[in-house]
Amino acid sequence: MALQIIDKKECYQVMGALNKSNVDTFTTYFKEVISKAKEVTIDIEGLDSIDRIGVSALVKLYAQSLEKQAKFFVIGMGSKELHNHFRTVESAA
């Protein structure tokens, strides 16, 4: 399934696959959102898969939100790969 982003008033539902082939579009879209918003919520419940480049994109967007002093949330069970990545980061901290 191709990547889809649905704007639901301050919550963005991401569906399909987030990977190397579409990460530039994803990143460009959310950089613009973060530059204008005080709070951004991304719902990953609809993600079928995410590769390491997609995970890296979310981490970079989080860092950008910190720079802009915007709140950044990722909600939903979403992809197992993403949760495993953040679990690993928490263990290392």
Q: Quick one: average pLDDT of 13-20?
A: 94
Can you give the residue range of the structural domain that contains 82?
4-27+39-92
Question: Is 16 within a domain?
Answer: yes
Question: Is 44 within a domain?
Answer: yes
Question: Is 14 within a domain?
Answer: yes
Question: Is 83 within a domain?
Answer: yes
Which residue's structure tokens are 């579009």?
A: 25
Cβ burial 26-35 (10 Å sphere, 16+ → b, else e): bbebbeebbe
Listed in sequence order, the residues at least 6 apart from 65 whose beta carbon sits closer than 8 Å to its beta carbon are 34, 40, 71, 72
Digit-coded pLDDT (tens) for 32-70: 999 999 999 999 999 888 888 998 999 999 999 999 999
Q: What's the domain count of the chain?
A: 1
Whether residue 88 is predicted with pLDDT greater than 90 in this model: the reply is no
Question: Is 32 within a domain?
Answer: no
Q: Quick one: average pLDDT of 10-28?
A: 95
Question: Is 58 within a domain?
Answer: yes
CATH code of the domain containing 59: 3.30.750.24
Contact 3/14 with Cβ under 8 angstroms? yes
**CA distances in angstroms from 18 to 36, 37, 66, 81, 90, listed in the order given:** 23, 22, 22, 11, 22
Binning pLDDT at 50, 70 and 90, where does residue 86 land?
A: low
Q: What is the pTM assigned to this prediction?
A: 0.81
Question: Is 53 within a domain?
Answer: yes
